[in-house]
A and B are shown apart, each in its own frame.
Chain A
Amino acid sequence: MSIQNLNTFDPFADASKGADDDVQDGLVHIRIQQRNGRKTLTTVQGLSSDYDLKKIVRACKKEFACNGTVIEHPEYGEVLQLQGDQRENICQWLTKAGLAKPDQLKVHGF
């Protein structure tokens, strides 16, 4: 543990961070919902509308070998919906593709 007061603090850290074009702002909520039996559904809410969700879902479907769709919601905007428990997969994929940072992802559910 270092002494905090003695650390050099860069006052422009925030400014420089904002400089790189970060399309994704705000949290991406990844939720799981139970369906009948042991089936589940994964929803991804909060992805930036600048992304083409249709393309994302197409890539995800191929990657995770599951079906999926984009749902238009009046309040939450476009929501990704994937079949099965894809929480781990989608987290890894989003970070790998650089669409969202790991700290922007919020996984809900059990």
Chain B
Amino acid sequence: MAEDDAIFDPSLKKKKKKKKTAFDIEAALAEGGNDAQDAAPEPDTAKEDEQDDANVDIDLDFTKKKKKKKKPFTAEDLDAVAGEGKDEGNEGGNQDEGALDDNFDLEVDFSKTKKKKKKKNLGDLIAEADEKHEDKENVDENSAVWMTSDRDYTYDELLKRAFEIMRDKNPDMAAGKKQKFVMRPPQVVRIGTKKSSFANFTEICKMLHRQPKHLLDFLLAELGTSGSVDGNSQLIIKGRFQQKQIENVLRRYIKEYVTCHTCRSPDTILQKDTRLFFLQCETCGSRCSVASIKSGFQAVTSKRAAIRAKTA
């Protein structure tokens, strides 16, 4: 199992993350949210993965390496080490159990095994470990257990606790639960054969807290057409467009001009400063410039004769 871990390369994990290309705008945010979320139970996941041979995506190779170094530890060593820092001792303990029995469940809470070790022999321990197999998943249960006991807390437990408290105190934080950024889908209807109407254009602008003009510029530049806002505050675009297509463009707009590039929060302000647009995040306070909207090359699609007649 150690070998399996060794061949694992970090790129694997990355790919997995990128796979989250869900449909909604929230997907963009979700990525960010997940990033932050992963940070919390990090040491935990590392352990879990190690235990599962097939599941090779491990995100924390730093601890992994550290552990591997500790592999040659034996039970005798462990006792010697026990006097050392809590964190270190625990890691060593876990590792050496793994060495003794490959099937041993590494998932088990460090401290738990450690404490038991003092009283029980290893055989009991393994049985115990199997029992505990599934309870690792829910953090709450774990934390409840250790709170009542009088033993020393491990680093992992304390870390977990800190993150839990953080999440409880400010539930809307990025590190907490996945934020939802719900958007109403754009209502696109065909007008005649050549034009499309984006009926809730202004509504969406309001939801995104963006100037209608800015979104209009972007839409028209991306779609390579012309269009305007009519009296009923709906956008009329030249060309046939389906809702899905507009949605795609809208998603790109949100990714570039609405969500914060650092924390992915949608709570941002777009300011114009010396001809450049800057995105100021209200959540994390970051400020970065965003690409200006350029329509680029436009090929001639209408009748050349008609253009000539117009200009001449």
Judge whether A43 and B223 touch: CB under 8 Å. no
A75 and B223 alpha carbons, distance in the complex (Å): 20
- A110–B60 alpha-carbon span in the complex (Å): 38
Q: In the complex, A55 Cα to B245 Cα: how many Å?
A: 33
List the A side residues contacting B59 at CB < 8 Å.
Answer: 1-2
User: Closest CB of chain A to B63's CB: distance in Å?
Assistant: 9
A18 within 8 A of B: no
Chain B CB within 8 A of A96 CB: no
B79 at the interface (CB under 8 A from A): no
Tell which of B69-77, B268-276, B294-302 binds the partner: B294-302
Please state if B296 and A109 are interface contacts (CB–CB under 8 Å): no
Complex-state Cα separation, A38 to B221, whole angstroms: 20
CB contacts (< 8 Å) of A35 on chain B: these are 301
Check: B246 CB closer than 8 A to any chain A CB: yes
The answer to whether the Cβ of B217 comes within 8 Å of any Cβ in the partner chain is: no
Q: Which of B62, B248, B296, B297 contacts A110 (CB 8 A)?
A: B248
- One digit per residue, 1 when the CB lies within 8 angstroms of any chain A CB and 0 when it does not, for chain B 24-36 equals 0000000000010
Q: Is the CB of B62 within 8 A of A34?
A: no
B242: which A residues are within 8 A, CB to CB? 110
The complex places the Cα of A41 from the Cα of B239 at a distance, in Å, of 13
Determine which residue in B13, B39, B61, B244 has the highest number of CB atoms from chain A within 10 A of its CB, and name it: B61
On chain A, the residues within 8 Å of B239 by CB distance are 34
B225 within 8 A of A: yes
Partner of B297, one of A1, A2, A76: A76
Report Cα–Cα, A14/B245, bound state, in Å: 38
Query: A71: nearest residue on chain B (CB-CB)?
Result: B299
Alpha-carbon separation in the docked complex, A45 to B297 (Å): 7
CA distance A29 to B222 in the complex (A): 11
| B163 interface hit (Cβ, 8 Å) | no
Residues of B with C-beta under 8 A to A31: 224, 296-297
B60 CB → nearest A CB, Å: 7
**B224 is contacted by which of A33, A73, A79 (Cβ under 8 Å)?**
A33
Chain B residue contacts of A1, Cβ below 8 A: 13, 35, 38-39, 42, 59-60
- Bound-state CA distance A2–B65 (Å) is 12
Residues of B contacting A: mostly? helix
Number of chain B interface residues as a range: 20 to 34
The docked-state distance in angstroms from the alpha carbon of A53 to that of B239 is: 29
Is B285's beta carbon under 8 Å from chain A?
no
Look across to chain A and name the residue whose beta carbon is closest to the beta carbon of B247: A110
Interface residues of B in 253-312 (CB under 8 A from A): 296-299, 301
* Chain A residues, Cβ within 8 Å of B241: 110
Say yes or no: A108 contacts B296, CB within 8 Å. Answer: yes
**A35 to B13 alpha-carbon distance, docked (Å):** 43
A9-38 vs B: 1/0 string, CB under 8 Å?
000000000000000000001011111101
Is the beta-carbon distance between B301 and A43 smaller than 8 angstroms?
no
Instruction: List, in ascending order, chain B residues with CB within 8 A of A108's CB.
Output: 221-222, 224, 296
Q: Contacts of A79 on B, CB cut-off 8 Å?
A: 297, 299
Contact B301 A34 (CB under 8 A): yes
Q: Which residue of A lies closest to B246 (CB)?
A: A110
> Which chain A residue has the least Cβ–Cβ distance from B225?
A34
Known: A2-B59, A2-B60, A73-B297. A109 touches B10 (CB 8 A): no
Q: Can you name 16 A-B pairs with beta carbons within 8 Å?
A: A1-B39, A1-B42, A6-B62, A31-B297, A32-B224, A33-B298, A33-B299, A34-B239, A38-B240, A43-B297, A45-B296, A45-B297, A71-B297, A108-B221, A110-B246, A110-B248
User: Taking beta carbons and an 8 Å cutoff, which residues of A are in contact with B?
Assistant: 1-3, 6, 29, 31-36, 38, 41, 43, 45, 71, 73, 76, 79, 81, 108-110
